[in-house]
Structures are given as C-alpha cells and as structure tokens.
Amino acid sequence: MAGRWKNDLNWSDVTPKAAFLNRRQLIAGTASLVAGGIAGPALAGLDARPSAYSTDEAPNSFEDITSYNNFYEFGSGKSDPADYSDALTIDPWSVKIDGMVDRPGDYAFDDILKDVTLEERIYRLRCVEAWSMVVPWIGFELADLLGRAGVQPGAKYVAFETLLRPEEMRGQRRPILEWPYREGLRLDEAMHPLTILATGLYGEAIPKQNGAPLRLVVPWKYGFKSIKSIVRISLMDREPPTSWNMANAREYGFYSNVNPEVDHPRWSQATERKVGGGLFAKRVPTRMFNGYGEEVAGLYRGMDLTEAY
C-alpha cells in the first residue's frame, strides 16, 4: 500500500488551492445552507473523517461531477439528470432491508445516519462507456448497515433497487430499462471495506443527479454497478437479476469488474477519457480493477475473469 494511498488528506488538500478557494461549496457556504434549512440530514457529511482508502489523485470539479451524469431515470442524456432531477422528493426517505436478515424492516434514512461513521472517500470512477472521474464521496461502509440488519448465514448475494416513481422520474415513463433499476453484489464484495453507501460529495449533501439521498459506490467495478437513490436492499442465497444484465447479458456481466483486457463487444476497455481533461487530452490506460487490485483481487482468486465478466 505504501505510496499509493494518503491517509491524512481531504479533498481540500488535493484540490489545487485556487480551484478550492473558488468553490461554491466551501464549508462556510455549506454551513449557511444549514442555517437556511435547505439540506437537512445529509449535511452530516460535513463531519466526515479522511480515509486511508482515498486516492491522492486530484478530484474532478464539482461542476464536472454534477453536470455529466448517468441516471437513466431522468433520461439518457448526460445533462438530463442535472436538468430534471429537481423533481425528485428525497425527504422522507427509507430503505427496506429484507430477505435473509435477522432484523428486516424499513430503515429511515435519518436513523441509518445516526449509527454510522462518515468518511470522505476520494475514489476513481470508471464508467463502462470508457470515461472516468475522481470523486470525493462522503459515505459509510455498506458492511456497517448490513451488520445492523444482521446477515443470516445462508445469504450469499445482496440485491439493490432504486426508487420507482415515474411521476417524479420522467425517464421511467419510457421503457429505456426495465424499472426499477436493479443491481447486485456477491456478499463478500458487499462486505468489502471499499464498498460504501455515499450520502455526500465535496463536503455537502449528495446532489440528486448523483443519487440522493444515498447510493452505492463500488470503485473497482464499472460505474453502472454503483446504483443510485436506493430504496431496497435484499439479502439472498442466489445471484439477483440486474438491470443492465437483463437488458443485454452479453455486453454487461454480473461482475463487471473494471478490466482493460476484456473489451466491451462494441468498444475497447483498454483506455479511458478523463472527464474535464479538455478536448485534446490523451486517453490514459485503464487499470485492472480500476487500480484497486491490491485490495480486491483476492475476491476473485481462481475465477476466469473473461468468463465471469
């Protein structure tokens, strides 16, 4: 691990100073939002502590991260989520945890936050479409919440579902995908300390276009595994169906670990375009497991990753 992670840096340390000072999201500014009563519980993100799992790469700007998105519930264009997600009501919010758990039920978002340790995790995000960003998430380990629900011994997989509410999510009025958006992980992937539920970014509540009020972040997998605006988490003994896999199993596998050696049937995964790099920026090589191999390669020992893609 030496040299790859810095465990004492926050986003403000790794963002060039001038850019940092120009940010609309300065902590002071965010504090005034609290006074105005705008952002509510997700502002707990302000107390996040730095993490040894953060990369020391400079994060993308708040503008990049919140204006170039995939969130098909609001449309398939990159600016649709920013343009249309205001319509989504996120308060009240609860997450149903069911299936093979000792304490199933509806967990209110505020209650979930009371029991967790929020950290800032500056992670690389690699989309299956071959673009990438670096995002300073605020969140907590999914394992903490699963522990609270009490995972039963037979459980092997975790299924996730996004909110289904076509009145507020205009993309759901069309069958772009089979709604609600669904994702899944193997239990050991879900329990891995790199796997978080994010409730904030850049020190403030997570914007709606990024998956408010809470979304999954699995940094070694293609971005589509990181499901947004989660309302249900189910523990199961078999692999759950997942949206992109249901839409096209040949193009989108259940695992979807970032792998420069396994091309998408329609494009290469060997390199990526860093969002914010400008029109003429050179593409950079994509790394196995998005650079998180040291932490996660052991999860897949003995598996053929061209078969289990």
Task: Summarize as ranges the residues that interact with ligand MTE (CB under 6 A).
Answer: 69-73, 125, 127, 162, 181, 210, 223-224, 226-229
Q: How far is the CB of 286 from ligand MTE (least distance, A)?
A: 14
Output the smallest distance, CB 304 to ligand MTE, in A.
25
Q: How far apart are CA 271 and CA 260, in angstroms?
A: 7
Q: Rounded distance, CA 90 to CA 31, Å?
A: 20
- Residue with smaller CB distance to ligand MTE, 199 or 210: 210
Whether a cis peptide bond, with omega within 30° of 0, leads into 92 is yes
Residue whose CB is less far from ligand MTE, 122 or 151 = 122
The encoded tokens of residue 133 equal 């960003």
CB count in 10 Å sphere of residue 178: 11
Instruction: Give whichever of 54 and 132 is closer to ligand MTE, judged by the CB atom.
Output: 132
> Cβ distance 64 to 135 under 8 Å?
no
Which tokens go with 98? 């069911």
Alpha-carbon distance of 123 to 121, in angstroms, equals 6
Q: Residue 151 or residue 230: which is nearer to ligand MTE going by CB? A: 230
Residue closer to ligand MTE (CB basis): 21 or 87: 87
* Three-state DSSP state, 293: helix
Q: How far is the CB of 71 from ligand MTE (least distance, A)?
A: 5
Whichever of 163 and 296 has its CB closer to ligand MTE, that residue is 163
Rounded to a whole number of angstroms, the minimum distance from the CB of residue 177 to ligand MTE is 7
Q: Provide, rounded to whole angstroms, the least separation between the CB of residue 29 and ligand MTE.
A: 21
Rounded to a whole number of angstroms, the minimum distance from the CB of residue 267 to ligand MTE is 14
Q: Are 249 and 241 in contact (CB under 8 A)?
A: no
Residue nearest to ligand MTE (CB): 223
What's the Rg (C-alpha) of the chain?
Answer: 18
